[in-house]
Amino acid sequence: MKVAVQVTCINDAMFPDTGEAVFTLLRRLGVAADFPAAQTCCAQPMVNTGYLDEAVPVVRNFVDAFAGYDAIVTPSGSCAGSVRHQHAMVARRSGDGRLAAAVARTSPKVYELTEFLVDVLGVTDVGAYFPHRVTYHPTCHSLRMLGVGDRPLRLLRAVRGIDLVELPAADECCGFGGTFAVKNAETSTAMGADKARHVLDTGAEVLVAGDNSCLLHIGGLLSRQRTGVRVMHLAEVLARTEDA
Amino acid sequence: MSGTFVGMPAFPAAAREALSDAQLRRNLAHATSTIRAKRAAVVGEVDEWEELRLAGAAIKDNVLHHLDEHLLRLEQSLTERGATVHWARDAAEACEIVASIARRHDADEVVKVKSMATQEIGLNEALAAHGITAWETDLAELIVQLGDDLPSHILVPAIHRNRAEIREIFRERMAAAGRPAPENLSDVPRELAAAARLHLREKFLRAKVAVSGANFAIAETGTLVVVESEGNGRMCLTLPEVLVSVVGIEKILPAWSDLDVFLQLLPRSSTGERMNPYTSMWSGGTEGQEAHVVLLDNGRTRALADEVGRQALRCIRCSACLNVCPVYERTGGHAYGSVYPGPIGAILNPLLRGVGVDEQTDSLPYASSLCGACFEVCPVRIDIPEVLVHLRSQVVDAHRAGPPKGEAVAMKSAAWVLSGARRLSWAERGMGVAGRVLNRLGRKVMPGGRRALGRLPWPGSLWSNARDVPAPPAESFRARWRREGRR
């Protein structure tokens, strides 16, 4: 099976350690994955803000970059959701039949990281070690757009040394929402403040989620409030072992 | 009523005001979380809930696909049962029809059953211009009307008020509208309800004309259905000599048997009850009663013409999407500038009014984080996030001809950078250089050891006013990958 990792643009530019963690983890599980260097972005920022014409060349770049792979693994529920639910819409809008066909070929091969680990590789114990008090925020797009269910929690429960505590009102949105965070900044912050309060209530040292964009928002609030709670992508937790 | 939604600011500005009202946020958080839990419990009891949702959506879709046929069938059935059918293209026509009926009966007042359609067309204000006073008889509507306030929720229009505030409104305003509030009225809910009951009773007994909406209109039998909790609706529907019902053209159900599905979906989704206390059905007038039905378009055919957006016309006004929406919970309904607030309002208003018309309407599709909780609870499976994104694209397209806004420039530039890996790589190198500089300047260290940037100038301030921003890494993932020669 030829596997590619869609590192995602935000991870590439802001959180390279997450991309690194995905490769570390896959290598440990015996998967030699590629980083197709032609990849950029899934086009979600344009699509969700209403700029569908602008999204067309970005989607075209996506299908070109990942053509020829059997599976495309992404450490982002939001980007996976965007590919599965929005690329067809963008292609339809472009009126380009070849693009539509390429999208139809590529989209079904995209897996959110936990889907790939649990469904394709069939593992829940990835051999990780992380001796910390952790709480998990299921991001909206993972939860509702993809329906990843309890896959992330099954993976986390199998981590050695972990003290996993439940997050109150876990399935409520953190208020990030892409450009919503700046177009409706006050509302976004109000939502995020409640999420941060719930995180603090758990007494966790680390907040884990499968999307760095949501963590950028919640983590930014937690840091501004000097709470001492750090945020980490799920892939980075799963990549940790007793050696590293 | 002096309150009006006309001229409301765009959502972000209206939301800011609501967010700064701590009492409002407490009232809303309490009310929505209570009803959310009730809904979840009673929906959880129904094993075939998903099948019911699918059936509800299918029945409504059928109606929308053959709306012309169903409407003619409904008109015929209603006429056969003695009702007079009127057709209204817009709010002004509908209001004029109701006013002329009231005038013909020399009525200077009408009693009203809570109705979203009459709210939508501003009937009370239009009647007032004709010298006719419209009395709201639903408890929450009464609170809104007496308080010169605006509704903020589809089902519970006074959800933004707590009982202490309601007591003050009753004490100060009831006397001017009829029977005054009792002396020493407390804020115990039972006492407040009793005061409202006494105040309203004289209005039910006096009024010659009543105005209602309808939850459903059954084409096959010419039956209108009103579902309610308090019994005030039943009083209005049966006591007065003349009954005028204003009904949106999307309210049709083809057959009597279709009602079965919706009488299961609606109460559980809206009030969190297995069944609502009062369900009134009438085909033509009750004995000796003159019955009129105003079939209202007011933008519905515009919405119907929108391939993606038309699913919003399935809406049965249950308000489950409001109660579960994290944006609504914090901003309240007034911020949406319409009688239809919350997620459904964010799509229904632009669909009914059209985009590119005013800034307020154009701001509504963006009043959502696209978390998808609304779609999850919608009893007729309206994919609200999908429609929101679709409408956002319409808003963007409506402004393409004009001078480009900062946002459009930013999006076009981002798309240009992101449509080729080489361009993205240059941009990241620039960020890396900036990051190395900022890393030295940034004093604050975030938990986990990463440096944070200080507060950014506008538009970055929209982010950094409340949230720390990690400094960009010195090297992007792709640069590291290339440098290490992994490929």
pLDDT tens track for B14-72: 999 999 999 999 999 999 999 999 999 999 999 999 999 999 999 999 999 999 999 99
What sign results for the dihedral spanned by CA atoms A124, A127, A128, A134?
positive
Nearest to A73 by CA among A21, A136, A137: A21
**pLDDT value of position A238:** 98
CA-to-CA distance for B381 and B428, rounded, in angstroms? Answer: 42
User: Cβ–Cβ of B373/A140 closer than 8 Å?
Assistant: yes
User: Taking each helix axis from N to C terminus, what angle separates B342-353 and B384-398, rounded to the nearest 10 degrees?
Assistant: 40
CA dihedral A205→A208→A212→A218, nearest 10 degrees, is -50
Q: Give the nearest chain B residue to A61 (CA atoms).
A: B419
Per-residue pLDDT, averaged over A74-93, amounts to 97
User: Cβ–Cβ of B368/A140 closer than 8 Å?
Assistant: no
User: Cβ–Cβ of B370/A184 closer than 8 Å?
Assistant: no
Per-residue pLDDT, averaged over B163-168, amounts to 95
| CA end-to-end span of chain B | 71
Residue matched to tokens 């308090």: B230
What sign results for the dihedral spanned by CA atoms B411, B416, B419, B425?
negative
Q: To the nearest whole number, what is the mean pLDDT of chain B?
A: 94
- For A67, half-sphere exposure in the C-beta direction (CA atoms, 13 angstrom radius) is 12
User: Cβ–Cβ of A40/B418 closer than 8 Å?
Assistant: yes
Q: What is each CA distance from B183 to B167, B168, B180, B187, B191, in whole angstroms?
A: 11, 12, 9, 12, 11
Q: Give the nearest chain A residue to B372 (CA atoms).
A: A144
User: Cβ–Cβ of A191/B421 closer than 8 Å?
Assistant: no
CA-to-CA distance for B316 and B105, rounded, in angstroms? Answer: 32
Which amino acid is located at B156 in the chain? V
- Pairing of the two strands A110-112 and A33-34: unpaired
Nearest to B242 by CA among B317, B132, B363: B132
Global pTM value: 0.96
- B422 touching A (Cβ < 8 Å): no
Burial B153-172 (b: 16+ CB within 10 A, else e): bbbbbbbbbbeebbbebbbe
Q: Give the nearest chain A residue to B445 (CA atoms).
A: A223
Nearest chain A Cα distance for residue B123, angstroms: 32
Given phi > 0 = left and psi -120 to 50 = alpha, else beta, which region is B68?
alpha
Q: pLDDT digits over A163-218, tens only?
A: 999 999 999 999 999 999 999 999 999 999 999 999 999 999 999 999 999 999 99
User: Cβ–Cβ of A12/B375 closer than 8 Å?
Assistant: no
Q: Give the nearest chain B residue to A169 (CA atoms).
A: B33
User: Cα-atom radius of gyration of chain B, to the nearest Å?
Assistant: 26
Residue matched to tokens 């996993």: A164
User: Cβ–Cβ of A48/B487 closer than 8 Å?
Assistant: no
Q: Which two tokens stand for residue A169?
A: 């009102």
CA dihedral B313→B318→B319→B321, nearest 10 degrees, is -70
| CA end-to-end span of chain A | 28
Which phi and psi (to 5°) does residue A208 adopt?
-115, 140
Residues 311-330 of B with CB under 8 A from A: 326-327, 330
User: Cβ–Cβ of B475/A16 closer than 8 Å?
Assistant: yes
CA angle (A110 as vertex; A104, A116 as ends), nearest 5: 145
CA B176, chain centre distance (Å): 30
Q: Which two tokens stand for residue A144?
A: 């509702």
Residues 424-453 of B with CB under 8 A from A: 424, 427-428, 431, 444, 446-448, 452
CA-to-CA distance for B313 and A208, rounded, in angstroms? Answer: 39
- Statement: residue B441 has pLDDT above 80: no
User: Cβ–Cβ of A50/B365 closer than 8 Å?
Assistant: yes
Q: pLDDT digits over B264-317, tens only?
A: 999 999 999 999 999 999 998 878 899 999 999 999 999 999 999 999 999 999
Do residues B463 and A213 touch, judged by C-beta distance below 8 A?
A: no
CA-to-CA distance for B203 and B199, rounded, in angstroms? Answer: 7
- B347 touching A (Cβ < 8 Å): no
What's the 3-state SS for chain A? CCEEECCCHHHHHHCHHHHHHHHHHHHHCCCCEECCCCCCCCCHHHHHHCCHHHHHHHHHHHHHHCCCCCEEEECCHHHHHHHHHHHHHHHHHHCCHHHHHHHHHHHHHEEEHHHHHHHHCCCCCCCCECCCEEEECCCHHHHHHHCCCCHHHHHHHCCECCEEECCCCCCCCCCCCCCHHHHCHHHHHHHHHHHHHHHHHHCCCEEEECCHHHHHHHHHHHHHCCCCCEEEEHHHHHHCCCCC
Nearest to B211 by CA among B294, B144, B87, B151: B294
User: Cβ–Cβ of A144/B480 closer than 8 Å?
Assistant: no
- Statement: residue B3 has pLDDT above 70: no
Q: Is A243 exposed, middle or buried (0-12, 13-18, 19+ CB in 10 A)?
A: exposed
- B458 touching A (Cβ < 8 Å): no
- B372 touching A (Cβ < 8 Å): yes
For residue A35, the chain B residues in CB contact (below 8 A) are 477-478, 481, 486-487
User: Cβ–Cβ of A58/B415 closer than 8 Å?
Assistant: yes
CA-to-CA distance for B154 and A109, rounded, in angstroms? Answer: 42
Nearest chain A Cα distance for residue B7, angstroms: 20
For residue B389, the chain A residues in CB contact (below 8 A) are 47-48, 50, 86
User: What percent of chain A is predicted at pLDDT more than 70?
Assistant: 100
Do residues B195 and B218 touch, judged by C-beta distance below 8 A?
A: no
**pLDDT value of position B88:** 98
User: Cβ–Cβ of B15/A217 closer than 8 Å?
Assistant: no
Do residues B157 and B11 touch, judged by C-beta distance below 8 A?
A: no
B457 preceded by a cis bond (ω within 30 of 0): no
User: Cβ–Cβ of B482/A37 closer than 8 Å?
Assistant: yes
Q: Give the nearest chain B residue to A34 (CA atoms).
A: B487
Q: What is each CA distance from B376 to A238, B174, B273, in whole angstroms?
A: 30, 41, 18
- Statement: residue A244 has pLDDT above 70: no
For residue A185, the chain B residues in CB contact (below 8 A) are 12, 462-463, 465-466
For residue A58, the chain B residues in CB contact (below 8 A) are 415, 418-419
**pLDDT value of position B2:** 45
Q: Give the nearest chain A residue to B454 (CA atoms).
A: A224
ipTM: 0.97
- Statement: residue B481 has pLDDT above 80: yes
User: Cβ–Cβ of B411/A45 closer than 8 Å?
Assistant: yes
Do residues A85 and A103 touch, judged by C-beta distance below 8 A?
A: no
- Statement: residue B1 has pLDDT above 60: no
Q: Which two tokens stand for residue B32?
A: 């929505």
Nearest chain A Cα distance for residue B60, angstroms: 24
Nearest chain B Cα distance for residue A26, angstroms: 15
Q: pLDDT digits over B333-355, tens only?
A: 999 999 999 999 999 999 999 99
User: Cβ–Cβ of B418/A41 closer than 8 Å?
Assistant: yes
Q: Which of A49, A84, A140, A143 to mutate to test binding with chain B, by most B CBs within 10 Å of its CB? A: A49
User: Taking each helix axis from N to C terminus, what angle separates B189-206 and B163-177, rounded to the nearest 10 degrees?
Assistant: 30
Q: Smallest Cβ distance to A187: which of B15, B396, B475?
A: B15
CA B399, chain centre distance (Å): 25
Nearest chain A Cα distance for residue B284, angstroms: 45
- Statement: residue A101 has pLDDT above 70: yes
Q: Smallest Cβ distance to B372: which of A16, A39, A144?
A: A144
- Pairing of the two strands B216-218 and B223-228: antiparallel
For residue A211, the chain B residues in CB contact (below 8 A) are none
Q: Smallest Cβ distance to B477: which of A12, A171, A178?
A: A12
CA-to-CA distance for A91 and A53, rounded, in angstroms? Answer: 10
- B268 touching A (Cβ < 8 Å): no
